[in-house]
Amino acid sequence: MTLAVIPGHQASLSQADFERARRIIKERAGINLQPSKQSMVQGRLARVLREHNLYGYGELLDAVERPNSPLWQSFVNALTTNLTAFFREAYHFPMLAEFLKAQKGPIRIWCAAASTGEEPWSIAITALDTLGPSAQVKIFASDIDTEVLRTAQAAVYPVASDKGLDEATRRRWFLKGSGNNAGLMRVRPELVRLVEFAQVNLVHDALRFAQPFDVVFCRNVMIYFDAPTQRTVLERIHHAMKPGGLLFAGHSENFSTHSDLFGLRGKTVYERLPDRGMGQSS
């Protein structure tokens, strides 16, 4: 009797293929996968094998390493961790509101690891609740993962995912579905018009922004990067911001060793310091 080989059902990810996957994702996306994550990586890559009708991890990794491989995006989408929530780390939003109130003129905000969108929508809600419907705010929301960006752009969520939203906020800013859309809620168009989505790899993509940002949210992504990569990304964010702007970091991210770039102003909130030009002492 011959056994049929089913795509995605290769027995297990060998140690060598795991090391190879770790090297590729680190080089291309900065993500530092811990050695303990082998079975997680196997499970996630098995889905990619099935999606693309491939039979083995080696075949997948060969394909990913080919220049301009379409499999690269499936590989990175599978290996990112996208946990997020509305108003996650809620203590940041009153501080954002205070900062917004003090600004004069249009405000530019970058949400740099936006995942499925709950974070940029929370920023947009804070902006409109603070500054009113004519708020001059633009939010640029980006992520390396194209699948989460599709969800973010669709702006539709299960009502059951609204845990970070109080009832009044949900009613004000989301339209509840009925009929075929029962159990779903859609972000209101007033918020949608504030946010623009695009794919950005924080580690490698050229960051060409027309104007610098007043605020950057870069939360719970630096934890996946090693120290030199964190430094590179912080320098890039510093370059993309106005002096005096605020950088919001994740709850376990600490940038106090980068005090030449950012000064601590609150719980995991940093002020973008001026460029150190001629005539300034350290």
Q: Which residues of this protein are in contact with ligand SAM, per CB under 6 A?
A: 29-31, 80-84, 88, 113, 115, 119, 143-145, 148, 200-203, 219-221, 224, 250
Nearest-approach distance from CB 80 to ligand SAM, in angstroms: 3
Nearest-approach distance from CB 56 to ligand SAM, in angstroms: 26
| Selected catalytic residue, list 17, 20, 143, 272 | 143
Residue with smaller CB distance to ligand SAM, 38 or 122 = 122
| Selected catalytic residue, list 20, 22, 44, 88 | 44
Is 265 marked active-site?
Answer: no
Nearest-approach distance from CB 268 to ligand SAM, in angstroms: 11
Name the residue with tokens 């150190």.
276
Burial class (CB in 10 A: 0-12, 13-18, 19+), 179: exposed
Nearest-approach distance from CB 252 to ligand SAM, in angstroms: 11
Residue with smaller CB distance to ligand SAM, 202 or 261 = 202
Tokens representing residue 120 in the block: 């940029």
Max distance between CA atoms of the chain, in angstroms, equals: 81
Residue with smaller CB distance to ligand SAM, 42 or 220 = 220
Nearest-approach distance from CB 179 to ligand SAM, in angstroms: 31
Residue with smaller CB distance to ligand SAM, 146 or 181 = 146
Is 231 marked active-site?
Answer: no
Rounded CA-CA distance 57/37 in Å is: 16
Residue with smaller CB distance to ligand SAM, 200 or 269 = 200
Report whether 215 contacts 99 (CB < 8 A).
yes
Positions marked catalytic: 44, 143
